[in-house]
């Protein structure tokens, strides 16, 4: 287990009356993409802030890249994109980026070179206009997000931590971010991101940890997590709306234990001892035109709903993930 | 240390590059110079009103007094239209005054003097006119009358008229000099008073402006959410130290620039003042830069640095406590009160720089940085008081840093409503 980017052992944090994180342990393998999943208020941001030594845990230990997380120089190898993003509005983009890089121990010359490369890569510097010389508040929101992302990576960190990176992104920027995460993985970096969007996590992550109410619900490789649940799920896709007859079949508790109804697509968890062939026959008999009927591992989304359920989401739990 | 430097550099450069810094640095001296020059020019211009002798003298004394006063006024004010004397009887005064008032309204004269039995008795004279609020003008008329009355009385005692005029023609002007433990100072007492006032007012202004600007800067980092990115790279203490030092050096830069410009202006003051029309005599003598002993200079700089850090760290803590602009003024009130309370005592310390009050306010950590320099400029403060003041401000400064760092560490990532005193105490214990 020597090759871990992050090793957390039994950390807890209490804020006044609320226990934000309770005895949480997790391991993030180097070079992996790791998802920290959980509903709002689960303790994701608190956990991330403890990893970054922004807040101090009441108990437990954290190791980053094989060293205690407070060791000198460790923070220079970590890049962080907070959930609430922001930059100095009145500062020139290049100066902000240089400041952020220098805070991580990059010398001025190297920083200048890298800034130019990154600005071009994110099309903030084109033949017509170099946004690097503009003030931050002259940039559009999307551009500011790009600048912030550049700021996270300028010091070429070995470990990149992104808190809710997809929130507030349009589909184009969202795709660009996914590409960037994959690029980082290919470059051998470790990426940890928190999200409550299971689809992104399922596609991007090698491993995940699901937390709810400050406690770990499950963790491990995505493959393993899914395999553990077996293939008792059915992906069903039909033409047109589900008519009354089809509905009745799907509502039969002898066949279906749980169902994610997305109108024309259903992810169905079979009831114990139910026969999938019987389900298919009944659906066809009810007059549905079936486009897809497949035995699958449950999606992270299903696992999340099953394990966390409605009870994991509690109102008023600190406001931060 | 390296990261403090990075924060310091950003703070310093961003502030120095801003338009406001340039405007304040270059227009500041113009403004202050204007404030300094205007009184001199005004004094030169208004010393003797050119209309001073353009008065009607209502002489109800039945003596020569009216004519004598008129003559004295005329001699003293050769540029002014001569006074006119109306000899009246005592019972005609009311009527004569009404006429004279009409004349003043009609701009025939600037005012009128009533001389009557009370004047002869040496008790009073009455003056009414457009310039009745001008102390200098009224004083001139009074002294002209006094001189004339004295001459008349002495002549009545049988003295030779010419001898009397010669003997009573005494024009005194006070030239003051300050003496302290080191002996006489070159500059006049008034100048060092002005110098003391200027120093503490400058310190007050710098601390107020830069302190509040740090406060707004911290709040901005908080509301911009930059703070979280930065504290993921550096400890909040490093950020706080870098910010305070950075702004402090901006303030020092500005003061240095002002001093350089002021000294330059001092050396070229003659043409400047002449351009404003001040009399050459005024220009020559009254302005002298008081000497500052090297040790006093060191103490001044130390007091400024300690005082600046004291207030800057408290203002920074206030900035980290709140989450929006609306709350900030209220939260800053206690710190502002401390700062303002030191300026409240300015007047009494100026007038009596060795009093117990002056000693106390120049020893308290929150007022010493402003009041001590002022006392030092006016009187020779014993060395032990200066040391005491420095120690007190130094300790206050350490306490302020300790307290502020704790509030700052917690406050920087807290959003929502302004904390109560109870919550603040918890933050301080928590950090």
Tens digits of residue pLDDT in A58-75: 999 999 999 998 888 899
Q: DSSP assignment of A8-71, as one string?
A: EEEEEEEETTEEEEEEEEEEEETT-EEEEE--TTSSHHHHHHHHTTSS--SEEEEEETTEETTS
Which CATH superfamily includes the segment(s) A1-65+158-228? P-loop containing nucleotide triphosphate hydrolases (3.40.50.300)
Decide if B7 and A89 are in contact by the 8 Å CB cutoff. no
Q: What is the pTM of this model?
A: 0.74
Residues B213 and B145 in one domain: no
Residues B247 and B116 in one domain: no
Q: Which CATH number fits domain A231-296: 3.30.565.10, 3.30.470.10, 3.30.70.100, 3.40.50.720?
A: 3.30.70.100
Hey, of B8, B12, B14, B229, which one would you mutate to test binding to chain A, going by the most A CBs within 10 A of its CB?
B229
Bigger pLDDT: A309 vs B233 = B233
What are the pLDDT digits (tens) for A126-141? 888 899 999 999 998 8
Last residue of a domain, one of B134, B168, B202: B168
Highest mean pLDDT among A152-161, A172-181, A224-233, B293-302: A152-161
Q: In Å, how far is B34's CA from the nearest CA of chain A?
A: 33
Neighbours of A254 (CB within 10 A): 11
Residues B308 and B334 in one domain: yes
Q: How far apart are CA B156 and CA A170, in angstroms?
A: 107
pLDDT given at position B180 = 58
Q: What are phi and psi of B335, to 5 degrees?
A: -70, -40
With H, G, I as helix, E, B as strand and everything else as coil, classify residue A188: coil
Q: What are phi and psi of A275, to 5 degrees?
A: -100, 120
Q: Which of B226, B233, B426 sits opposite A86 (nearest CB)?
A: B226
Minimal-distance CA residue of chain A relative to B2: A105
Decide if A75 and B230 are in contact by the 8 Å CB cutoff. no
Q: Which of A76, A84, A95 sits opposite B228 (nearest CB)?
A: A84
Residues B17 and B121 in one domain: no
Query: Residues 403-422, chain B: which have Cβ within 8 Å of A?
Result: 413
Q: DSSP assignment of B261-305, as one string?
A: HHHHHHHTHHHHHHHTT--HHHHHHS--PPP--HHHHHHHHHHHH
Cα angle B214, B220, B223 (rounded to 5 degrees) comes to: 145
pLDDT per 10-residue tile (average), chain B, 431 residues? 88 90 84 69 58 86 88 82 88 89 88 89 87 78 87 83 75 63 55 73 88 91 88 89 92 87 76 63 52 74 89 92 85 90 82 84 90 82 89 92 88 77 79 63
Query: Residues 10-39, chain B: which have Cβ within 8 Å of A?
Result: 10, 14
Max intra-chain CA distance, chain B: 98
Query: Residues 222-251, chain B: which have Cβ within 8 Å of A?
Result: 223-226, 228-234
Are B244 and B12 in contact by the 8 Å Cβ rule? The answer is no
- In chain B, which residues have their Cβ closer than 8 Å to the Cβ of A52? 232
Q: In Å, how far is A49's CA from the nearest CA of chain B?
A: 8
- In chain B, which residues have their Cβ closer than 8 Å to the Cβ of A47? none
Residues B64 and B147 in one domain: yes
Average pLDDT in chain A: 87
Minimal-distance CA residue of chain A relative to B234: A103
Q: How far apart are CA B121 and CA B116, in angstroms?
A: 9
Q: What are phi and psi of B192, to 5 degrees?
A: -70, -30
Residues B116 and B6 in one domain: no
Domain count within chain B: 2
- In chain B, which residues have their Cβ closer than 8 Å to the Cβ of A87? 224, 226
Residues B314 and B411 in one domain: yes
Whether pLDDT at A103 is above 90: yes
Residue B264 domain boundaries: 2-43+181-430
Residues B149 and B93 in one domain: yes
Last residue of a domain, one of B122, B141, B168: B168
Last residue of a domain, one of B123, B138, B168: B168
Domain-embedded: residue B272? yes
Residues paired with B129 in a beta bridge: B111
Structure token pair of residue A268: 């169905």
pLDDT given at position B181 = 57
Domain-embedded: residue B175? no
Domain-embedded: residue B49? no
pLDDT given at position A241 = 72
What are the pLDDT digits (tens) for B369-424? 888 888 887 777 888 998 999 999 999 999 999 899 888 888 888 776 777 888 78
Region of residue B352 (phi > 0: left; psi between -120 and 50: alpha; otherwise: beta): beta
Residues B311 and B391 in one domain: yes
Whether pLDDT at A1 is above 50: no
Q: How far apart are CA A216 and CA B251, in angstroms?
A: 51
> For residue A133, what is the DSSP state?
G
> For residue A84, what is the DSSP state?
S
Whether pLDDT at A312 is above 50: no
pLDDT given at position B278 = 55
Residues B296 and B221 in one domain: yes
ipTM above 0.85 for this complex: no
């Amino acid at each position: 287990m020597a090759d871990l980017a992050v090793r957390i052992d039994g950390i807890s944090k209490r804020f006044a009356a609320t226990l934000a994180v309770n005895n949480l342990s997790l391991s993030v393998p180097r070079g992996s993409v790791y998802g920290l999943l959980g509903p709002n208020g689960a303790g994701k941001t608190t956990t991330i802030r403890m990893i970054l030594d922004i807040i101090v845990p009441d108990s437990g230990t954290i190791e980053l890249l094989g060293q205690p997380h407070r060791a000198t120089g460790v923070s220079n190898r970590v890049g962080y994109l907070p959930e609430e993003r922001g930059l100095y509005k009145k500062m020139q983009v290049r100066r902000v980026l240089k400041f952020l890089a220098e805070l991580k121990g990059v010398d001025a010359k190297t920083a200048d070179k890298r800034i130019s490369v990154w600005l071009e890569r994110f099309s903030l510097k084109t033949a017509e206009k170099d946004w690097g010389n503009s003030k931050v508040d002259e940039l559009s929101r999307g551009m500011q997000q790009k600048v912030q992302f550049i700021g996270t990576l300028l010091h070429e960190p070995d470990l990149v931590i992104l808190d809710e990176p997809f929130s507030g992104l349009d589909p184009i920027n969202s795709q660009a971010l996914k590409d960037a995460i994959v690029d980082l993985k290919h470059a051998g970096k470790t990426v940890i991101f928190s999200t409550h969007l299971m689809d992104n996590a399922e596609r991007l992550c090698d491993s995940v940890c699901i937390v709810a109410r400050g406690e770990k619900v499950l963790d491990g490789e995505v493959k393993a997590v899914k395999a553990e649940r077996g293939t008792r799920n059915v992906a069903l896709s039909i033409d047109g709306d589900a008519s009354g007859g089809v509905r009745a079949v799907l509502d039969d508790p002898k066949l279906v234990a749980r169902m994610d109804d997305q109108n024309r697509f259903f992810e169905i968890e079979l009831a114990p001892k139910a026969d999938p062939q019987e389900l298919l026959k009944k659906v066809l008999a009810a007059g549905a035109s079936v486009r897809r009927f497949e035995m699958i591992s449950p999606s992270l989304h299903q696992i999340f709903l099953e394990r966390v359920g409605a009870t994991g989401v509690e109102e008023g739990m600190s406001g931060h993930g | 240390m390296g990261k403090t430097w990075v924060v310091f550099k950003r703070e310093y450069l961003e502030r120095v590059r801003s338009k406001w810094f340039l405007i304040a640095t270059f227009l500041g001296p113009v403004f202050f110079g204007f404030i300094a020059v205007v009184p001199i020019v005004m004094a030169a211009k208004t010393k003797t009103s050119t209309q001073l002798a353009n008065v009607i003298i209502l002489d109800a004394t039945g003596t020569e007094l009216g004519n004598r006063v008129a003559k004295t006024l005329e001699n003293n004010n050769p540029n002014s239209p001569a006074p006119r004397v109306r000899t009246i009887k005592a019972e005609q005064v009311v009527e004569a005054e009404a006429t004279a008032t009409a004349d003043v309204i009609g701009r025939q004269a600037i005012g009128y003097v009533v001389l009557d039995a009370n004047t002869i008795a040496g008790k009073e004279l009455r003056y009414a006119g457009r310039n009745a609020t001008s102390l200098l003008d009224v004083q001139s008329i009074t002294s002209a009358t006094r001189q004339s009355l004295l001459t008349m009385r002495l002549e009545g005692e049988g003295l030779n008229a010419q001898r009397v005029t010669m003997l009573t023609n005494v024009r005194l002007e006070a030239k003051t000099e300050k003496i302290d433990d080191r002996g006489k100072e070159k500059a006049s007492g008034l100048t060092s008073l002005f110098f003391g006032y200027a120093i503490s007012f400058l310190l007050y202004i710098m601390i107020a402006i830069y302190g509040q600007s740090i406060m707004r800067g911290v709040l901005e980092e908080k509301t911009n959410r930059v703070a979280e990115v930065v504290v993921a790279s550096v400890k909040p203490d490093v950020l706080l130290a870098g910010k305070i030092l950075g702004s402090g050096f901006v303030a020092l830069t500005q003061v240095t620039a002002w001093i350089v410009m002021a000294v330059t202006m001092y050396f070229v003051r003659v043409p400047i003042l002449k351009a404003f029309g001040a009399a050459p005599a005024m220009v020559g003598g009254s302005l002298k830069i008081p000497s500052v002993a090297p040790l006093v200079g060191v103490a001044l700089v130390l007091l400024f640095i300690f005082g600046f850090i004291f207030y800057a760290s408290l203002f920074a803590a206030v900035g980290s406590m709140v989450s929006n602009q609306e709350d900030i003024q209220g939260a800053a009130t206690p710190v502002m009160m401390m700062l303002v309370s030191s300026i409240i005592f300015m007047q009494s310390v100026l007038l009596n720089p060795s009093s117990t009050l002056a000693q106390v306010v120049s020893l308290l950590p929150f007022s010493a940085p402003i009041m001590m320099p002022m006392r030092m400029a006016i009187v020779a403060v014993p060395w032990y008081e200066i040391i005491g003041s420095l120690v007190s401000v130094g300790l206050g400064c350490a306490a302020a840093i300790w307290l502020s760092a704790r509030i700052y560490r917690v406050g920087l990532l807290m959003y929502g409503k302004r904390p109560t005193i109870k919550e603040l105490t918890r933050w301080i214990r928590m950090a």
